[in-house]
Amino acid sequence: MIVELDNLHSYCQTFSAWLASGYQDESCLLRGQALQEVLDWLQGKSLSNLDYQFLVASQELERRQLQQKLEGANEELQRLSTLATIDCLTQVANRRRFEEYLDIEWRRMTRSQQPLSLILVDVDFFKSYNDTYGHPMGDRCLSKIAKVIKDVVQRPTDLVARYGGEEFAVILSNTDILGAAHIAEKICFAVRKLAIPHENSQLSSYVTLSAGLATVIPISNSNSQKIIVAADKALYQAKAAGRDRVCSQEQTENLEAKLFLSEKLFIREELWLSIHKSQQIKEKNQQLRKQVQEAMEKNQQIMQKNSEIMYKMR
Counting beta carbons within 10 angstroms of the beta carbon of residue 128, is it exposed (0 to 12), middle (13 to 18) or buried (19 or more)? middle
Neighbours of 35 (CB within 10 A): 16
Neighbours of 97 (CB within 10 A): 18
Dist CA 102 CA 154 (whole Å): 17
Q: Which of 99, 166, 167, 283 is catalytic?
A: 166
Phi and psi at residue 82, to the nearest 5°: -65, -40
Catalytic residue list contains 167: no
Residue 235: C-alpha distances to residues 223, 229, 256 (Å)? 20, 10, 14
Dist CA 110 CA 216 (whole Å): 10
What is the identity of the amino acid at 46? S
183, 149 Cβ separation under 8 angstroms: no
Q: Look at residues 256, 266, 204 and name the one whose alpha carbon lies nearest to residue 230.
A: 256
Question: Which residues have C-beta within 8 Å of that of residue 146, sequence separation ≥ 6?
Answer: 87, 90, 91, 92, 160, 162, 168
Provide the greatest CA pair distance for the chain: 173
Question: Which residues have C-beta within 8 Å of that of residue 162, sequence separation ≥ 6?
Answer: 87, 89, 90, 92, 93, 94, 95, 142, 146, 168, 169
Dist CA 29 CA 25 (whole Å): 6
Q: How far apart are the first and last CA of the chain?
A: 170
Catalytic residues: 166
